[in-house]
């Protein structure tokens, strides 16, 4: 499978997992809560490998890149006095319409996974994070060493 195919497959798995977590016809608050829960699972998987600071740096960079694609998220960094970027992002999701919240959530999580794959490789990223948003689709190719 091509890298682009793996990326799209991962994005789709994230979208489906978020949809399962927040349910159909969810409001933006439910989408934000599902995103926060999913991010906490990702962080729990990654902290032993890259540490809490590494997880925070990964989130911050993914947020920056996601804001480039979805400029309205720029307000996520304005979470208020003492609020970190995760709190700001969650608050911004809660304040927007559900389709935009779902799009932003999936984009941020996929960007995190893509950044991680660039650092540690797609195979290890898959082994670490696929359990969070589900295994690859049946029949998908596994990465092989070159």
CB neighbour class for 115 (10 Å; exposed up to 12, middle 13-18, buried from 19): middle
For the chain, which ranges sit under pLDDT 50?
A: 76-82, 136-146
pLDDT of residue 75: 60
Task: Please report, for the chain, the start and end positions of each structural domain, with discontinuous segments joined by +.
Answer: 3-133
In this prediction, residue 8 carries a pLDDT of 83
Q: Structure pTM?
A: 0.82
Cα separation, 60 vs 28, whole angstroms: 22
**Quick one: pLDDT at residue 108?**
95
How far is residue 125 from each of residues 10, 41, 79, 84, measured CA to CA in Å? 11, 14, 29, 25
**pLDDT for residue 73:** 84
């Amino acid at each position: 499978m091509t890298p682009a195919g793996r990326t799209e497959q991962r994005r789709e798995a994230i979208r489906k997992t978020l949809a399962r977590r927040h349910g159909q016809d969810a409001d933006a608050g439910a989408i934000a809560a599902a995103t926060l829960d999913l991010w906490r699972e990702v962080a729990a998987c990654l902290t032993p490998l890259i540490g809490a600071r590494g997880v925070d740096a990964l989130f911050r960079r993914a947020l920056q890149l996601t804001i480039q694609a979805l400029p309205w998220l720029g307000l996520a960094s304005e979470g208020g006095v003492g609020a970190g970027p995760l709190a700001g992002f969650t608050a911004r999701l809660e304040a927007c319409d559900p389709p935009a919240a779902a799009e932003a959530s999936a984009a941020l999580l996929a960007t995190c996974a893509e950044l991680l794959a660039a650092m540690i490789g797609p195979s290890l990223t898959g082994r670490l994070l696929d359990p969070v948003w589900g295994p690859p689709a049946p029949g998908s190719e596994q990465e092989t060493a070159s």
